[in-house]
């Protein structure tokens, strides 16, 4: 973990921390906080994100998602209350996005719903063999929402969180502005965030496709970023994934089901950006 504290500007002490998580990097800037307190908060955040990763990462054999995937539709797996709630939300989101957000998009089995939930014992049963559940489309946003609640409970009012350059959450404002200004690495748009989140979905930095279209199992080939801004980082992640995969004529209808969220399509000159940066 990296931690840097600066008092260079006495009017705005700044703490910066970063650590690897969810096959990416979590970064955090907090202003107006003492060094000792910033270190304590950073340790708590790191521990919280690590615990979430252990639960959701299907590549971790001890995670709930790995246990579900390894069941191959034979029998049920008992999950904790948090994972059970997340799975409930994911099914609601799948239905409200016309299926374009689907944590079972990587499955060989097209049966939907991909799983059933039993509230009495918090058990989850896959709908058949060949179903795989993957939290990659929402895990970072979910973790950011959890961290935000913790920071607020600690009385922190101004912070910027960046998870893998694809999910961002802003608390309050920059010490010398009225918001936090955020721009995608590839450019194209500047977002002014204040007590809001931003999620970006699109091709990898090298331009290669990696997001699966749940409708037909193909990789989405669009070179346009789908950016969604709103209150919850979790919901922003859901919507940016869904809107990137959905046909253009369906996006407005999907977005209409989520009050308070906005979508921006950002055209990318990826060839130029790759030549300049990679």
Convert the pLDDT of each residue in 200-239 to its tens digit: 998 877 778 788 889 888 888 888 899 999 999 999 999 9
Q: Round to whole Å and give the CA distance between 20 and 53.
A: 11
Question: CB 148: neighbour CB atoms within 10 A?
Answer: 21
pLDDT at position 278 over 60: no
Q: What is the pLDDT of residue 74?
A: 66
CA distance linking residue 205 with residue 182, whole number of Å: 17
Average pLDDT over residues 73-99: 90
**Can the peptide bond before residue 113 be classed as cis, meaning omega within 30 degrees of 0?**
yes
Across 131-145, average pLDDT? 92
Quick one: tokens of 260?
């308070």
Domain segments of the chain: what residues? 2-51+138-277, 64-126
**Alpha-carbon span 212 to 220, nearest angstrom:** 6
What class, spelled out in words, does domain 2-51+138-277 have in CATH? alpha beta
Model's pTM, two decimal places? Answer: 0.92
Please, which pLDDT band fits residue 268 given cuts at 50, 70 and 90? low
With the C-alpha atoms ordered 172, 176, 181, 186, is the resulting torsion angle positive or negative? negative
For residue 132, the model assigns a pLDDT of: 87
Average pLDDT, the chain: 90
Q: What are phi and psi of 68, to 5 degrees?
A: -65, -45
Collect all residues with Cβ–Cβ distance below 8 Å to 182 and sequence separation of at least 6: 160, 168, 170, 190, 191, 193, 198
Q: What confidence tier does 72 reach under pLDDT thresholds 50, 70, 90?
A: low
User: What is the arithmetic mean of pLDDT over 122-126?
Assistant: 91
What is the pLDDT, as a whole number, of residue 73? 62
Question: Strand 123-126 vs strand 115-118: parallel, antiparallel, or unpaired?
Answer: antiparallel
Tell me what the mean pLDDT of segment 144-166 comes to.
96
How much is the CA Rg of the chain, to the nearest whole Å? 19
């Amino acid at each position: 973990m990296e931690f840097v504290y600066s008092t260079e500007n006495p009017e705005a002490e700044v703490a910066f921390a970063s650590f690897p998580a969810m096959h990416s990097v979590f970064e955090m800037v907090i202003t107006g906080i003492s060094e000792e307190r910033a270190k304590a908060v950073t340790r708590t955040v790191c521990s919280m994100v690590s615990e979430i990763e252990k639960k959701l990462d299907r590549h971790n054999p001890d995670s709930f998602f790995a246990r579900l995937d390894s069941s191959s539709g034979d029998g049920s797996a008992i999950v904790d209350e948090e994972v059970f709630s997340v799975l409930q939300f994911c099914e609601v989101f799948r239905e409200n996005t016309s299926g374009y957000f689907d944590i079972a998009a990587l499955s060989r089995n097209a049966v939907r719903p991909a799983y059933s939930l039993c509230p009495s014992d918090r058990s989850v049963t896959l709908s058949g063999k060949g179903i795989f559940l993957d939290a990659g489309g929402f895990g970072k946003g979910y973790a950011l929402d959890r961290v935000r609640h913790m920071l607020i409970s600690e009385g922190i009012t101004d912070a910027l969180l960046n998870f893998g350059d694809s999910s961002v959450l802003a608390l309050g404002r920059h010490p010398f502005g009225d918001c936090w200004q955020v721009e995608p690495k590839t450019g194209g748009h500047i977002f002014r965030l204040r007590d809001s989140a931003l999620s970006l979905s699109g091709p990898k930095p090298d331009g290669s496709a990696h997001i699966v279209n749940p409708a037909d199992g193909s990789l989405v080939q669009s070179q346009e970023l789908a950016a969604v801004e709103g209150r919850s980082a979790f919901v922003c992640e859901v919507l940016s994934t869904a809107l990137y995969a959905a046909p253009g004529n369906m996006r407005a209808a999907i977005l209409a089901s989520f009050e308070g969220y906005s979508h921006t399509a950002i055209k990318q000159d990826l060839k130029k950006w790759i030549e300049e940066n990679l």
